[in-house]
Amino acid sequence: MFSKYFGHYLLNRELLTREQLMDALEFQKSVHVKFGVIAVDEEYMTPLQVEEVHEKQKQMDKRFGEIAVDLGYLTNEQVEALISNQKQGHLFLAQALVDREYMTIEQFGAALRDYKIENSLSDEQFDAIRNGSIELLVENILGIEDEEKNSKYGQYLSLFAKNMIRFIDDQVYFEIDTLENPQSENWVVRQVIVGEAPLFTAIGANEEAFLHIASIYAEEELTEVDDLAEDAVSEFLNLHNGIYLVNMSNWGTELTMNPQEVVKNATVSGDVFLVSVNTSKGSFQLILSDKPENILIAQ
Amino acid sequence: MGNNLSVLICDDSILIRKKLRSTLEKCKCKEILEAVNGDVAVELVKVQNPDLIFMDIVMPEKDGIEALKEIMEFNPDAKVVMASSVGTNDRLKEALGYGAYDFIQKPLSFEAIANIIEKVIKEDKVDV
């Protein structure tokens, strides 16, 4: 998830164009992450040292790690650590950007450092995010200062991210939507969680995004929003909410939930918290509110 | 796994019914019935009395717990397996307290369904 999120950070900082990012995200599926990229990412080596090792590699039949150790740039322990880190998602993006010549290793490393500084992340927090800690990433997206939103929606969003990755799309990327106007969507699936911590939950999507979620969850290609498609998106929300209830129960909060409902051409209004959920095949909105009684859905 | 079991699927989700039916067909169950909510399930149980029932919990009209209570009143030996995404301890205790045979967490896996079928066959010795 961090890979996609960091890609959008690069886009917003105008270090990449949208086309370059889309191309790199697609291309990263086929790349092999090279040692030099990881060594710079981990700040074990400078880009210049990596270049030097690459030059030496052209002259001798040795691996990158061996040459770097010979030159005193890496220890054997660091080589071992780099091997085990080779599968981190964002490194595939880094390698794709370098291979496509959209960025140099140095520019990527500088952007990573800027990201860390701008988000006031400690080394430990940053490592955890890079290593796939969705909880920390979601907390970071929500804004560390906003404790209220974190406590209300943080757990729900973290789990939603995990379930999106698990069941729908591993290239998911969240953006907090600051719109306060009522949301109008082709399709809205809603489910209300009731109990001591009530929560209105809904997925709002245009037809294309709706069919994308439905097709993946139903495990068959759905080309029109029929009963099965409506049901598939409903079931995904229901499954996710069910797991959320189990988690909350394990933390001592017992909740139940009402049946889901699908509403066509709906406008949702009230005190809502909106999250744009971007997938590889389009975006939809996750609509949440801790005041379900104030939510209005009009057709 | 050939067997003589008649099985009732009660779930408001078309998708879940479709997937569960496919799994039960692979397990070669003799008869597969479907109900879209608890009311329909109770009526079907009274008429057909299936060997095994897979029951969702969160459903419109009559939910799974209410249906379970009525089914157990009608037939205290009924084997009702609660199948839900809400596998909280409270729900589990509630369902088992009303006499549920078992509880499986969604998403339903082939293994979980097949294990239940195998358990019922062993207990009832109804396989062919």
Domain boundaries, chain B: 6-124
CATH number of B6-124: 3.40.50.2300
Which residues, other chains included, contact A293 with Cβ-Cβ below 8 Å and sequence gap of 6+? none
CA-CA distances (angstroms) from residue B95 to A157, A190, B63, B84?
A: 29, 26, 12, 11
Chain B contact residues (CB < 8 Å to A): 12-16, 18, 58-60, 84-90, 105-107
**Cβ neighbourhood burial of B123 (10 Å; 0-12, 13-18, 19+):** exposed
User: Which of B12, B58, B86 minimises the CB distance to A246?
Assistant: B86
Candidates B15, B20, B98; CA nearest to B54 is B20
Angle, helices A105-118 vs A89-99, to 10°: value is 140
Find tokens 């990433």 and name the residue: A137
Cβ-based neighbours of A14, under 8 Å, separated by 6 or more: none
Q: With contacts defined as CB-CB under 8 Å, which chain B residues touch A258?
A: 58
Q: Residue A247 corresponds to which amino acid?
A: N
Question: Cβ neighbours of residue A49 under 8 Å, at least 6 residues apart?
Answer: A39, A68, A71, A73
CB pairs under 8 A between A and B: 51
Mean of per-residue pLDDT scores for chain A = 84
Confidence of residue B127 (pLDDT cuts 50, 70, 90): very low
Tokens matching residue A125: 């927090």
Confidence of residue B70 (pLDDT cuts 50, 70, 90): very high
Three-state secondary structure call for residue B24? helix
Instruction: Collect all residues of chain A within an 8 Å Cβ-Cβ radius of residue B58.
Output: 238, 242, 256-259
Please report, for chain A, the start and end positions of each structural domain, with discontinuous segments joined by +: 2-137, 147-298
pLDDT in tens, A240-273: 999 899 888 888 888 999 999 999 988 888 888 8
Q: Please give the pLDDT value at position B8.
A: 97
Tens digits of residue pLDDT in A67-96: 999 999 999 888 888 877 666 667 778 888
User: Is residue A158's pLDDT more than 90?
Assistant: no
For residue B118, CA distances in Å to A56, A120, A267, B27, B114 come to 63, 55, 48, 9, 6
Q: What is the DSSP letter of A166?
A: I
Type and span of the H or E element at A194: strand A183-195
Q: What is the edge-to-edge ordering of all strands in the sheet holding B102-105?
A: B31-35, B6-10, B52-55, B80-84, B102-105
Considering only residues B5 and A123, tell me which one the structure prediction assigns the higher pLDDT.
B5
CATH architecture type of domain A147-298: 3-Layer(aba) Sandwich (3.40)
8 Å CB contact of A258 and B14: no
ipTM: 0.84
Q: How many CA atoms lie within 13 A of A87 on its CB side?
A: 1
Mean pLDDT of chain B: 90
CB–CB contact B14 A227 (8 Å): yes
> pLDDT at position B128, please?
40
What is the per-residue pLDDT for B47?
95
User: What does the angle CA A206 – CA A211 – CA A214 come to, to the nearest 5 degrees?
Assistant: 125
Nearest CA in chain B to A257: B58
Q: Which residue of B has its CA nearest to A255?
A: B88
What is the arithmetic mean of pLDDT over B71-89?
91
Contact indicator for A98, A35 with CB cutoff of 8 Å: no
What are the tens digits of pLDDT across the range B92-109?
Answer: 888 989 999 999 988 888
Say what percent of chain B tops pLDDT 90: 65
Do residues A299 and A266 touch, judged by C-beta distance below 8 A? yes
- From start to end of B1-128, where are the E strands? 6-10, 31-35, 52-55, 80-84, 102-105
Rounded to a whole number of angstroms, the distance from the CA of B28 to the nearest CA of chain A is 22
